[in-house]
Structure 1
Amino acid sequence: MSYHGVRQLLREGQARAWALEVLAGPVTAVRHPLGFVCLPLERNGGEGVCLHLWSDSLVHAESTTSQIHCHSWDLVSHVLYGQMRNVHAVVTDADQDATHRVFEVVSGADGDRISPTGRTVRHATGQVEVFGPGDTYTLPSGRFHSSVVPEGGEAATIALGRGRPGSRDLSLGPLGTGPHHVSRQPLDAAETALAVRLITAHLT
């Protein structure tokens, strides 16, 4: 279903029913470097629809930079179950007292190309928003943040993205890290089936 179709379902309170319907069909899943499992469902031009799952029952991919990032697209996120904390980061340009470097992340079919930029920064924790089942929140492109699930917690969201021309995907990382490539790790059939069972069990 299209980005606009899913947004309308969210407005109508049909998110859980739609997710169960989608999960009854064939799906694929990959480990995302930000620590969740992504089930991509729709990609059309600059718009996309995914399910995101956080669970200690599945192996996590490890980030080579950090959890603090910003998107090149506007995010609409709907919490299906669990608790999601949207932790805003206040990022300040810095030179000698910098703690992190800004990296550009360019995603392709073969994974993510991560390149250091000349921008160095410090950061502090800003507003912390807490969302629970049934909540929908938005985040404009270009806002540094991290998505945090309480330790040991389980959560799943519907994530909708709409690209914003001229914006870039960025991440904060160690000052000395060089350019590198990160492959997205697909889940095998057994792990994918487990991911589907985990979400389905929470929604039924």
Structure 2
Amino acid sequence: MLYARLATAIKEHGPERVWDEVTTILDPLAQGRTRLGAVRHPLGFICLPVVRDASPEGVCLHYWTGEDGANKPTTSPYHCHSWSLLSHIMVGSVGNQRLDLVPGDRYRLFRANSGRDGDDREIDDLEPTGQLTGIRTGDVEIYRAGETYELEAGAFHASVGTHADVSVTLVLGSVVPDAEDISLGPVTLGRHRKVRTNLGPDEGRRIAGEILRLRPRVALSAGSSA
């Protein structure tokens, strides 16, 4: 299983093995032998959904550039997942900021129900709840190429941009039963739908080739910079 193989590469073997495994995915994409549509995510990156099906485990590659912020979230950057996350930085750097919910009324909690609409577009239905909250943010933790971080299901956080021109992360997700995808948004915002921009397989092929070109020529050790 691809998820298990990638998780083992990240946790037991290190960056070079991760690159070897990811290259076996990207090579046929870049050469046009397989097809995978790229999707622009509201949180500011382009996603290659390598494994996204009915199974509880998913695999995605996230491609970040300074131009990816065109599709802004309607709520806020603050959210939690219904799945545990293992994120390995392959190129560049990413920031992760944890936060705690505290008594207050600055934000409303929204349930984010993801799926597809009748036109087979990826959508997020944002359903407001009756719960208001304040937040207490932690320090931004910066992770660089070769480093990995984990986030448990239900932990609120925000992805924070860095000064890297391009960053690539390999993200593994494992669904936790009864956990929910929650986003924090404006108190007065109502129920609404966010449609993710489908960039298509041609863009998927281009990004696959770009990621392959970004592979470091010198072997990375865990925690080193690209």
Give the structure-2-normalised TM-score. 0.82
Is 1:20 the counterpart of 2:23 in the alignment? yes
**What does residue 99 of structure 2 align with?**
89
**How far apart, in 1, do the equivalents of 2:131 and 2:72 lie?**
23
**What does residue 37 of structure 1 align with?**
46
Is 1:99 the counterpart of 2:102 in the alignment? no
C-alpha contact (below 8 Å) 1:149/1:155 kept by paired residues: no
**How far apart, in 1, do the equivalents of 2:101 and 2:68 lie?**
32
| Residues 91-147 of structure 1, C-alpha deviations (whole Å, 9 max, x = no match) | 2132xxx11111110111231111011111111321322211111110001111011
Counterpart residue type for residue 88 of structure 1: R
Which moves more between the two structures, 81-90 or 119-128?
Answer: 119-128
**What does residue 221 of structure 2 align with?**
none
RMSD: 1.8
Secondary structure at 2:112's aligned position in 1?
strand
CA change 1:116–1:50 in 2 (3 A) is same
Any gaps of 5 or more consecutive residues in structure 1?
Answer: none
Alignment equivalent of 1:122, drawn from 113, 134, 137: 134
Alignment equivalent of 2:208, drawn from 185, 192, 196: 196
C-alpha contact (below 8 Å) 1:36/1:60 kept by paired residues: no
Is 1:162 the counterpart of 2:169 in the alignment? no
Counterpart residue type for residue 4 of structure 1: A
**What does residue 136 of structure 1 align with?**
148
Alignment equivalent of 1:54, drawn from 64, 67, 86: 64
C-alpha contact (below 8 Å) 1:31/1:60 kept by paired residues: no
**What does residue 9 of structure 1 align with?**
9
Counterpart residue type for residue 154 of structure 1: V
Report the alpha carbon displacement of residue 184 of structure 1 after superposing the two structures with TM.
1.8
Is 1:63 the counterpart of 2:73 in the alignment? yes
| Residues 20-44 of structure 1, C-alpha deviations (whole Å, 9 max, x = no match) | 2211123221011111111111135
Q: Structure 1 segments of 4 or more deviating over 4 A? A: none
**How far apart, in 1, do the equivalents of 2:85 and 2:128 lie?**
24
Matched pairs, number? 201
C-alpha contact (below 8 Å) 1:91/1:123 kept by paired residues: yes
**Percent of aligned positions with the same letter in both sequences?**
36
C-alpha contact (below 8 Å) 2:81/2:180 kept by paired residues: yes
Secondary structure at 1:24's aligned position in 2?
helix
C-alpha contact (below 8 Å) 2:37/2:202 kept by paired residues: no
Report the alpha carbon displacement of residue 191 of structure 1 after superposing the two structures with TM.
3.0
| Residues 164-196 of structure 1, C-alpha deviations (whole Å, 9 max, x = no match) | 111100011111110011112111344333322
Secondary structure at 2:154's aligned position in 1?
coil
